[in-house]
């Protein structure tokens, strides 16, 4: 890796981390010695890149640091294209359109020499099963998740039985052939996962959920992790 590319990559690693990154972590990711990392960090600081920290503790990048967002490498471009291809094929109608718009904006913004990595990438998403139709508006559901509002649904389970639920929508999962809505269910007093194609009807309520969206997702992640560990231990 060229030194200039390595310095840029250090900034990228620090940008994506919410915690201090140690020299050990940087040297492992960049495949260089810690001595090289220390020297590169010193050079970046000398160039007035706002990096705080010290050896043994870790380094953090000032969140106000402004770097052109489209200084992308070919690998980063292909990663963005691959993700956008998947979303365009598996996301709901609004997300699919946003993914196509994203690729168009990136193509227009990157230098000419990088456009082949977008227009003719070396990677792609193979065709799969068609996603089952949703029983509720997912674009509106994503808005309700962000705003922390409840949804009333009528749900049909695998046996065909229907039930009325008031849920706190938490996160939408996009699987290969179905989409799942994770939510706190007031009826069951716990987190449940609802297949969106089995939702028969939905009413979007103005009533707020019992906690902030970020806290709700943290609780769901703890629940999901506990369930996963329980399955693994059987």
Q: Are residues 13 and 44 in the same domain?
A: yes
Q: How confident is the model at residue 135 (pLDDT cuts 50, 70, 90)?
A: very high
69 in a structural domain: no
Q: Which domain holds residue 183?
A: 138-232
222 and 172 in a common domain = yes
Q: What is the CATH number of the domain that holds 199?
A: 2.30.30
Mean pLDDT of 198-221: 95
Per-residue pLDDT tens over the stretch 168-193: 999 999 877 789 999 999 999 999 99
Do residues 154 and 163 make contact, with C-beta atoms less than 8 angstroms apart?
yes
In this structure, are 112 and 194 located in the same domain? no
Distance between CA atoms of residues 210 and 212, nearest Å: 7
* Confidence (pTM): 0.66
Give the span between the Cα atoms of 157 and 6, in whole angstroms.
Answer: 53
- Whether residues 82 and 109 share a domain: the answer is yes
pLDDT at 127: 67
CATH number for the domain harbouring residue 36: 1.10.10.10
The verdict on residue 101 lying in a domain is: yes
- Total domains present in the chain: 3
- Sign of the Cα torsion 79, 80, 83, 85 reads negative
106 lies in the same domain as 35: no
Within this chain, do residues 167 and 209 fall inside the same structural domain, yes or no?
yes
Nearest to 146 by CA among 179, 129, 170: 170
Q: According to DSSP H, which parts of 110-212 are helical? A: 116-119, 138-147
d(CA 21, CA 52): 11
Domain-located, residue 133: no
Residues 154, 204 share a domain: yes
Give the mean model confidence (pLDDT) for residues 32-61.
87
Tell me: the pLDDT tens digits for 74-112?
888 888 888 998 888 888 888 888 888 888 888 887 778
C-alpha closest to that of 119 among 179, 166, 78: 78
Quote the radius of gyration of the chain (alpha carbons, Å).
22
- Domain-embedded: residue 132: no
Whether 124 is in a domain gets the answer no
Q: Is residue 195 part of a domain?
A: yes
Tell me the C-alpha distance between 77 and 87, whole Å: 15
The pLDDT assigned to 205 comes to: 97
Q: Are residues 147 and 113 in the same domain?
A: no
- pLDDT at residue 67, rounded to an integer: 58
Whether the CA torsion 189, 193, 145, 227 is positive or negative: it is positive
Asked if residue 172 lies in contact with residue 138, where contact means CB atoms within 8 angstroms, the answer is yes
* pLDDT exceeds 80 at position 68: no
Does residue 189 fall inside a structural domain?
Answer: yes
* Joined tokens for residue 6: 């390595």
Residues 26 and 109 occupy one common structural domain? no
Whether residues 47 and 108 share a domain: the answer is no
Give me the chain's average pLDDT, please: 87
Using pLDDT thresholds of 50, 70 and 90, give the confidence band for residue 200: very high
In a domain? residue 163: yes
* Closest of 138, 148, 143 to residue 214, by C-alpha: 148
């Amino acid at each position: 890796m060229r030194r200039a590319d390595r310095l840029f990559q250090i900034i990228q690693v620090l940008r994506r981390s919410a915690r201090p990154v140690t020299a050990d972590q940087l040297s492992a990711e960049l495949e260089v010695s810690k001595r090289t990392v220390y020297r590169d960090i010193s050079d970046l600081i000398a160039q007035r890149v706002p990096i705080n920290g010290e050896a043994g503790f870790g380094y953090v990048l000032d969140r106000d640091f402004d770097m052109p967002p489209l200084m992308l490498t070919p690998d980063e471009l292909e990663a963005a294209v691959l993700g956008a291809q998947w979303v365009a094929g598996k996301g709901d109608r609004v997300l699919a359109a946003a993914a196509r718009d994203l690729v168009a904006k990136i193509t227009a913004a990157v230098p000419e020499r990088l456009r082949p990595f977008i227009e003719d990438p070396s990677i792609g998403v193979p065709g799969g099963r068609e996603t089952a139709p949703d029983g509720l508006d997912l674009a509106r559901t994503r808005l309700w998740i962000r705003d922390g509002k409840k949804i009333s649904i009528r749900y049909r389970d695998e046996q065909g039985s229907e039930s009325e639920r008031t849920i706190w929508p938490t996160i939408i999962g996009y699987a290969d052939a179905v989409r799942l809505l994770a939510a706190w269910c007031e009826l069951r007093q716990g987190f449940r996962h609802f297949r969106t194609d089995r939702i028969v009807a939905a009413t979007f309520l103005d009533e707020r959920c019992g906690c902030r969206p970020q806290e709700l997702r943290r609780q769901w992640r703890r629940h999901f992790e506990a369930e996963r560990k329980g399955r693994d231990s059987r």
